[in-house]
Amino acid sequence: LTPELFAVLTSPAYAAAERVFPWLLVNQLMILMQYPVGIGLYLRKRTGLLALVYVGGLAINLATGVGLVRWAGSTGAAMAWCASNAAITAVTWVIGQRLYPLRWSPARFLAVAAGGSVLLYVGASAAGQVWSVATIVRAAVGAVLVAGCGWLVLLRLAVPGPHLGAVPHNGEGGLG
């Protein structure tokens, strides 16, 4: 985010948070993903495992936070928080898949992860810079990746699949 864009999205009081902001966005994404990736824990009534996962995430946050805060200050704290939530999401997904395997597309996951990584790079590297050709190119590449990921999602939604719970009409089939 360049100073101009960040100024449009926030008030001047938040100018110091410009370098932290991209990490907080990715962190929020990881938090939002924890429920869907852990659906198996809920379906198998094993939510007690989440306490262990969260304690592990806290340990990762503390272990990485010390060095990252010394190295990058408040941005390092956001990076450590993001790393711990990424680990929580990954472990929750692994446990959820073992308890209740769900189909997923590694290619689509990697496409979204790559797009998100590019956007994080763009946001973190453009902080404090005035709009330049390089910044505009990076932002355009990020926008193209996001659009491509959206296109993949729309393609997936357009594929007809079996209709679960379909009810026969006009007395055709059914329980008689």
pLDDT tens profile 22-54: 888 888 888 888 888 899 999 999 999 999 999
Q: How does pLDDT run across 9-26, given as a tens digit for each residue?
A: 777 777 777 788 888 888
pLDDT > 70 in the chain, percent: 75
Tokens of 141: 């590449």
User: How many percent of the chain have pLDDT more than 90?
Assistant: 35
The rounded distance, in Å, linking the Cα atoms of 141 and 133 is 12
Q: Is pLDDT above 60 for 162?
A: no
The pLDDT value recorded for residue 175 is: 47
> What is the model's pLDDT at position 129?
58
Q: What is the pTM of this model?
A: 0.64
What pLDDT, on the 0 to 100 scale, is given for residue 23?
85
Q: What is the pLDDT of residue 77?
A: 94
Q: What is the pLDDT of residues 141-154, one digit of tens each?
A: 777 877 787 777 77
DSSP letters, 37-83, are HTHHHHHTT-TTHHHHHHHHHHHHHHHHHHHHHHHHTHHHHHHHHHH
Per-residue pLDDT, 87: 94
